[in-house]
Amino acid sequence: MKKFYFDVHMHLDLYKDTKNIINHILQYKSYTIAVTNLPYLYDRAMKKYGEHKYIRFALGLHPELIEQYPEQIPLFFDRLENCRYIGEIGLDFSKTTSRSKLLQTDTFEKIIRACNKYGNKILSIHSRKAEKEVIDIIGAEFNGKIILHWYSGNMSELNRAIKNNYYFSINGDMLTTKKGRDIVNKIPLDRILIESDAPFTKDTRNTYSIMYIENIVSELSYIKKLEKNEMFHILKRNFIRLLK
């Protein structure tokens, strides 16, 4: 079976050798959602690199940066209607960002309302230490597709997200911890997607390789007790369904 590669969450614009990585992605025909952290970074990436057959840049407003760049919030909403891929967005209630909790929450609620209004958008969501609040805000009837990126919350909130038919993007670092493997074990096969979160995962800090994606598939097939080719087939089906 011909291998089908994809990566639903990576930060292409944060590499120094972005053009080489783009060529690598195109060589392997790996469908890639390149998230951004702020609207001006999205604009810069679109202007500098444009879109390719296998690469789509996503409009982002990272929760860890909202307080530092409040002027970017209206720019995000100016661009939102015309962007299908949205990310990285969400909430982060860890110690370093907890003081911006109200601004984060207000902004995220507005983003979800707007995306519900426009419809058919694909969102890549950051939810560190704020899984309950993220799920409360999105709800069960979202008018589009939700991907919880690098989910690290408890099993109770995981079950809620599964019932709401969210997707979960899994990276290699998640699979190196018992908690991460337990989370993956709980996620239904038809809700699993692959991400690298490059360059923030251990094996992607210096460069980006499709072998990283290949290794995630190998590890997932081991955890889920499936043949690797079958895992590739399931992931391909999930990705195609995500885009419909």
The CA-atom distances, in angstroms, between 146 and each of 85, 166, 194 are 11, 5, 14
Which residue is listed with tokens 């911890």? 177
Amino acid at residue number 155:
M
Residue 145 β-bridge partners: 122
Q: Is 197 annotated as a binding residue?
A: yes
Determine if residue 11 is labeled as part of a ligand binding site.
yes
11 contacts 34 by C-beta, under 8 angstroms: yes
Asked whether residue 182 is marked as a ligand-binding residue, the answer is no
Tokens of 180: 């991460």
Query: Known binder of ligand: residue 149?
Result: yes
Check if the beta carbon of residue 103 is closer than 8 Å to that of residue 67: yes
CB 192, CB 220: distance < 8 Å: yes
* Residue 230 counted as an annotated binding residue: no
Tell whether residue 88 is among the known ligand binding residues: yes
Instruction: From 57, 107, 114, select the one nearest 81 (Cα to Cα).
Output: 114
- Specify which residues 147 forms β-bridges with: 124, 167
Which residues line the annotated binding site?
Answer: 9, 11, 88, 126, 149, 197
Which residues line the annotated binding site for a divalent metal cation?
Answer: 9, 11, 88, 126, 149, 197
